[in-house]
Amino acid sequence: MRHGSERAPASARDGAPEPAPGPDGARERAAVLLRGASKTYGKGHAAVHALREADLEVPEGELVVLLGPSGSGKTTLLNLIGGIEPPTAGQVVAGGRDISRLDEDGRTAYRRDTVGFVFQFFNLVPSLTALENVRLVAELTGRGDRERSAAALAAVGLAERGGRFPAQLSGGEQQRVAIARAIAKDPALLLCDEPTGALDLDTGRGVLRVLQDLNGEGRTVMVVTHNAAIASMAHRVVRMRSGRIVEVARNAAPAPAEEVTW
C-alpha cells in the first residue's frame, strides 16, 4: 500500500477551525475536525491525560482506522467525536458544528441524530428479534418505521434473518444486526470500537465488508482497533501513543475487505 505521511502538529491551534484547501484551492468539507482536543480524567496526582492536544481532520466520506496500543486514547478520541463526553480543552467539530461546547442535552441530541455506534460486543436485546432490535433504536430518532429498519437489515445482508432472536444468529450476524441498528437512522458518522474484536477472521472480514460497503455509499466511517491489518482498507490511518496522535497517514489504494488478513 502507498502512504503519504504527515506528522501531526504538536500543539493546539487557536481560532476558528478551517478545513485544509484542496488541490484547486477549494476547501473540502470536513466530517470531523479536532483542534487541540484534550481529555483529562481526575485531578492533581490522580489525573490521567487520556488525550493530549489532538489535531485531526477527516474529510467527508472517508474510512479512517485508529490504531494504537491499549490505553493510548483511541476510545477516548472516538467518544469525543461521538459526543459521549466533552473535551477538557480544545475543539471538536462534526459536520461543521462545534460539539465541544454542547451541554449534556445538546450532546444527547447530537448523538441521537447524527452518530451511529458499533461496539465490540454487539449489545443486542436478547428478548427482541433482529428486526425489533433495529427498530428499537431507530424509533428514538423518529425513524423507526418497519420499512427503514428492514432496509437497514437488508443493507447488511440479513434481509431473511429479521425474525430471529440474537441467540439464533452467529457472532458475525449479530454484529451485522448491530451495524443495521446503527445505520437505520441514517447517521452522518458511523463510529466503530473494535467491531471485529470478538470475531474470527472470516466472520470479521464479513463485517469489514459491510463497513466498506457503507463507506462506499458515502458515509464517513471511523474504526478503532488493535488490529493493524485492518489499516490496509482505510483511506486514512491515525496512530496513537500515550494519548497523542503520533501519525496520520493517507492510503492511496485501500484494500478490499476480503484481502484483509490477520
Least distance from ligand ATP to the Cβ atom of residue 194, Å: 7
Nearer to ligand ATP, 74 or 176 (CB): 74
Q: Which amino acid is located at 139 in the chain?
A: E
Nearer to ligand ATP, 68 or 187 (CB): 68
Nearer to ligand ATP, 76 or 232 (CB): 76
Rounded Cα–Cα distance for residues 140 and 124 (Å): 16
Return the bridge partners of 241, or none: 244
Nearer to ligand ATP, 27 or 41 (CB): 41
What grid cell was written down for 3? 502512504
Least distance from ligand ATP to the Cβ atom of residue 76, Å: 3
Least distance from ligand ATP to the Cβ atom of residue 81, Å: 12
Nearer to ligand ATP, 48 or 201 (CB): 48
Nearer to ligand ATP, 10 or 46 (CB): 46
CA angle at residue 73 from 71 to 75, to 5 degrees?
100
Least distance from ligand ATP to the Cβ atom of residue 223, Å: 12
Least distance from ligand ATP to the Cβ atom of residue 209, Å: 23
Residues in touch with ligand ATP (CB under 6 A): 41, 48, 50, 68, 70-76, 226
Rounded Cα–Cα distance for residues 175 and 119 (Å): 8
Nearer to ligand ATP, 50 or 233 (CB): 50
Least distance from ligand ATP to the Cβ atom of residue 3, Å: 22
Least distance from ligand ATP to the Cβ atom of residue 52, Å: 11
- Write a three-state SS string for the chain: CCEEEECCCCCCCCCCCCCCECCCCCECCEEEEEEEEEEEECCHHHCEEEEEEEEEEEECCCEEEEECCCCCCHHHHHHHHCCCCCCCEEEEEECCEECCCCCHHHHHHHHHHHEEEECCCCCCCCCCCHHHHHHHHHHHCCCCCHHHHHHHHHHCCCHHHCCCCHHHCCHHHHHHHHHHHHHCCCCCEEEEECCCCCCCHHHHHHHHHHHHHHHHCCCEEEEEECCHHHHHHCCEEEEEECCEEEEEEEECCCCCHHHCCC
